[in-house]
């Protein structure tokens, strides 16, 4: 156990400090960038979720958001572009005691890594996936992504984006994620709450956070600074918990439907793995630990912790 | 640190199995307990066997991923979760794995990549042999790094070398590549698997330091290999494919690059003497030495026997470990033979290395072949005869 969990930070220090690698501050993020806000929310969720933080691991891909892993005082892995989900899948299955969080950008998770996202959701690997959606590739200078709403300007769509974007909650929902929520960086309390709920859930949770990139996306589209983004989020957000994810697509500077859209139960990959092999092999199968507290099964019962 | 193998994974006894199955058993015996893969001929039998065996062996997970990119990084996550890990593929899938061989080299992840080589490039000849991924094995990922690559020439050796690959991966914290070819992968021969207590397994070199004292990339002894830890043990480590310092933190300058990459390269180059492995026959009096590996070494054996009958003094140097390359030994041979003949199922890969090391002291003659079929032994014999003259 580290000295972090459960300790009451003194009022003189920022309560999030113990969760950060202070020796790596300041971060690389620009003034007004939303990524840091989401990290603050995440540390709040860590404080509130009651998990042993030695058993929480964070995995990022590559990008401005991809740097999140490097700033958190957890077992943290900065992997390759688009691949944090399969890395996290291996980590979780190898050591099911861990709570594994994937934290990355929209380009990382839905363009180059889109295939991994849909399959992890389908498999219901026990992961929390946080996608910071700034509608652009921040790290490489503001190119178009699968979530850029037309006709926004990006460096590779100098005359405006024109492809149909993904609506990420719909994507995650239709692939089987057990928890799907969207908030903007204006909604700090709701983000923290969603993250806490996701950390406490079993199966693949997906949280999309709409976040400003003042340096590239906002500047190119003359949308103002970080503060202007907050004003827009405040005005344009409509909270609709339980909304049909087919109705939550985001248009350019249009309304943003936020809320918790999906919260359901499904067998996780490891639970299905054990169940199938018990059925097929009986006592020849040596069950694999699922990371859940041991549940003593009634004799002859087959309804343990499915 | 070494112990004997966990008996749960060791299928002691004599078996008639092919090289792919033997490779899977070698991994199981070595303690591999996480495999991720994607089907591709002629390697699929390896993962099929693992998928059947893990649930009975216990403590192991096989997952068929959505592609080879995912497979080659899922194993790295699993390594940080504490497992010994492997992925398996062939040409097209091996190409997709290249970025993650670099990640494993950079973040010092002990892991095993199996490539059952088929005819290429592209989809090539899926069901037929090739040996044309040898340079890709060495240089396929971008940047400078070192790996270890081994080339079994029989199912028995597929068992042993896969087993050894895990030990080498742990000892040096590098990706180790087991480069089968379709012939060795699919040929059925007798494979004797020893008892667990006869198999020496290298354990991960876990740190003895406490959280707070331990730095994941600090080297504390002469081995140039940092001590290991796993996620969940309280160390709160950071790893990154970016250039990093001892703490694992990104450090974006040329000094950090120089320090890190030098060490990654030197930890293998500096200990190449211990890693290099070859087998030689009839080289003491030889005027000509044939250099071959994998299935081609078995074809070349015929050519050598036939040439010996004709009175030509010819021997064989078989690469068991191809990378690091046996520079010293090939240099020695080049000083005292009339010529070196390299037979391989490509149009010149390991032969380039032989030529480089021979450095003009003797001619190097390539007997190349596009793959899809083993060499005609007469082609190799003809080269032997010509070089001997
Ligand atoms: C294989 C590969 N392709 C491309 C890149 C270059 N690259 C680095 S970050 C990035 C985009 C990141 O965008 P996003 O995931 O949206 O994150 P953001 O920077 O906006 O937070 C790209 C294309 C890379 N590192 N690796
Ligand atoms: S470029 Fe954009 S996303 Fe990246 S740190 Fe700056 S504001 Fe944030």
Kindly indicate the confidence band of residue A270, based on its pLDDT and cuts at 50, 70 and 90.
very high
Distance from CA of B115 to the nearest CA of A (A): 20
Query: B233 in contact with A at a CB cutoff of 8 Å?
Result: yes
Residues in B closer than 8 angstroms to A54, CB to CB, are 232-234, 236
> What is the residue-wise DSSP string for chain A?
--S-TT----TTS-TTGGGB-GGGPSPSPPTT-SHHHHHHHHHHHHHHH---GGGEEEEE-SSTGGGHHHHBSSEEEE--TT-HHHHHHHHHHH-TTSEEEEEEEHHIIIIITHHHHHHHHHHT-SEEEEEEE-SSBTTTTSB--TTPPTT--BTTBTT---SPPP-HHHHHHHHT-SEEEEEETT-HHHHHHHHHHHHTSSS-EEEEEE---IIIIIHHTT---HHHHHHHHHHHEEE-TT--GGG----TT--EEEEEEEE-----HHHHHHHHHHHHHGGG--PPP-SSPP-PPPTT---S--
Residues 6+ apart with CB under 8 A from A293: none
Mark yes or no for CB contact A93/B81 under 8 Å.
yes
- What pLDDT does residue A12 have? 54
Residues in A closer than 8 angstroms to B242, CB to CB, are 78
- What pLDDT does residue A295 have? 44
Average the pLDDT over B99-118 and give the result.
98
* CB nearest B234 (choices: A54, A79, A284): A54
- What pLDDT does residue A8 have? 42
Quote the ipTM score.
0.98
Longest dimension (CA), chain A: 68
Query: B71 in contact with A at a CB cutoff of 8 Å?
Result: yes
> In this model, does residue A6 exceed pLDDT 90?
no
Tokens for A56?
Answer: 């929480």
Kindly indicate the confidence band of residue A299, based on its pLDDT and cuts at 50, 70 and 90.
very low
* CB nearest A87 (choices: B76, B230, B234): B76
Cα nearest neighbour of B58 on chain A: A286
Torsion-angle region of A89 (φ positive above 0: left; ψ -120 to 50: alpha; else: beta): alpha
Mark yes or no for CB contact A286/B55 under 8 Å.
yes
- What domains are there in chain A, each with its CATH number? 31-284 (3.40.50.970)
Query: pLDDT tens across B26-57, in order?
Result: 999 999 999 999 999 999 999 999 999 999 99
- What domains are there in chain B, each with its CATH number? 2-198 (3.40.50.970), 279-388 (3.40.50.920)
Residues in A closer than 8 angstroms to B75, CB to CB, are 90
Distance from CA of A283 to the nearest CA of B (A): 9
Instruction: Please report where in the chains the tokens 């790893």 appear, as a residue.
Output: B239
- Chain A residues in contact with chain B using a Cβ-Cβ cutoff of 8 Å: 1-2, 21, 23-24, 54-55, 57, 59, 69-70, 73-80, 83, 85-95, 97-98, 115-116, 119, 269, 273, 277, 281, 284-286, 288
CA of A63 to the centre of ligand 2 (A): 9
Query: pLDDT tens across A92-142, in order?
Result: 999 999 999 999 999 999 999 999 999 999 999 999 999 999 999 999 999
């Amino acid at each position: 156990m580290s000295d972090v969990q459960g300790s009451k930070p003194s009022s003189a220090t920022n309560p999030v400090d113990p969760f950060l690698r202070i020796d790596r501050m300041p971060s690389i993020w620009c003034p007004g960038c939303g990524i840091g806000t989401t990290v603050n929310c995440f540390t709040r969720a860590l404080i509130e979720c009651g998990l042993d933080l030695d058993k929480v691991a964070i995995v990022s891909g590559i990008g401005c958001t991809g740097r999140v892993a490097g700033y958190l005082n957890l077992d943290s892995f900065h992997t390759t572009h688009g691949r944090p989900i399969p890395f996290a899948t291996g980590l979780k299955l190898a050591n099911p005691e861990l709570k594994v969080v994937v934290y990355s950008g929209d380009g990382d998770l839905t363009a180059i890594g889109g295939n991994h996202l849909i399959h992890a959701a389908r498999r219901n690997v026990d992961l929390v996936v946080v996608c910071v959606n700034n509608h652009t590739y921040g790290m490489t200078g503001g190119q178009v992504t699968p979530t850029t709403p037309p006709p926004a300007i990006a460096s590779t769509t100098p005359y405006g984006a024109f492809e149909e974007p993904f609506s990420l909650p719909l994507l995650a929902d239709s692939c089987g994620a057990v928890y799907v929520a969207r908030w903007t960086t204006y909604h700090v309390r709701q983000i923290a709450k969603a993250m806490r709920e996701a950390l406490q859930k079993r199966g693949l949770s997906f949280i999309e956070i709409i976040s400003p990139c003042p340096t590239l996306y906002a500047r190119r589209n003359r949308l103002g600074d970080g503060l202007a983004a907050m004003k827009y989020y405040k005005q344009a957000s409509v909270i609709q918990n339980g909304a049909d994810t087919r109705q939550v697509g985001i248009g350019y500077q249009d309304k943003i439907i936020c809320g918790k859209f999906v919260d359901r139960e499904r067998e996780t990959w490891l639970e299905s793995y054990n169940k199938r092999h018990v059925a097929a092999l009986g006592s020849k199968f040596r069950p694999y630990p699922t990371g859940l507290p041991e549940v003593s099964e009634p004799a002859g019962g087959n309804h343990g912790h499915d | 640190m070494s112990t004997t193998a966990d008996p749960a994974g060791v299928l002691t006894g004599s078996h008639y199995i092919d090289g792919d199955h033997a490779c899977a058993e070698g991994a199981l015996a070595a303690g591999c307990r996480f495999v991720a893969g994607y089907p591709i001929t002629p390697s699929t039998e390896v993962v099929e066997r693992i998928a059947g065996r893990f649930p009975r062996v216990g403590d192991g997970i096989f997952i068929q991923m959505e592609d080879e990119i995912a497979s080659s990084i899922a194993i790295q996550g699993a390594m940080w979760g504490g497992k010994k890990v492997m992925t398996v593929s062939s040409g097209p899938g091996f190409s997709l794995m290249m970025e993650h061989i670099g990640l494993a080299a950079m973040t010092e992840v002990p892991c095993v990549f199996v490539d059952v080589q088929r005819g290429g490039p592209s989809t090539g000849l899926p069901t037929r042999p090739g040996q044309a991924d040898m340079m890709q094995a060495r240089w396929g990922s971008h940047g400078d790094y070192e790996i270890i690559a081994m080339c079994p020439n029989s199912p028995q050796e597929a068992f042993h070398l896969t087993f050894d690959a895990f030990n080498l991966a742990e000892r040096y914290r590098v990706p180790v590549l087991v480069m089968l070819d379709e012939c060795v992968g699919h040929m059925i021969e007798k494979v004797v698997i020893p008892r667990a207590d006869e198999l020496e397994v290298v354990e991960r070199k876990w740190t003895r330091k406490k959280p707070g004292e331990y730095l994941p990339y600090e080297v504390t002894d002469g081995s140039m290999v940092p001590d290991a830890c796993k996620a969940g043990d309280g160390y709160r480590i950071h790893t990154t494919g970016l250039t990093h310092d001892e703490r694992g933190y990104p450090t974006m300058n040329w000094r950090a690059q120089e320090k890190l990459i030098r060490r990654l390269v030197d930890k293998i180059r500096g200990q190449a003497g211990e890693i290099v492995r070859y087998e030689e026959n009839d080289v003491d009096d030889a005027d000509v030495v044939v250099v071959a590996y994998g299935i081609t070494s078995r074809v070349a054996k015929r050519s050598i026997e036939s040439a010996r009958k004709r009175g030509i003094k010819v021997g064989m140097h078989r690469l068991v470990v191809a990378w690091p390359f046996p520079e010293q030994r090939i240099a020695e041979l080049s000083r005292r033979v009339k010529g070196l003949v390299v037979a391989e199922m490509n149009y010149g890969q390991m032969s380039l290395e032989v030529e480089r090391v021979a450095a003009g002291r003797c001619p190097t003659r390539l007997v190349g072949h596009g793959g899809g079929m083993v060499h005609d032994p007469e082609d190799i014999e003809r080269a032997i005869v010509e070089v001997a003259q």
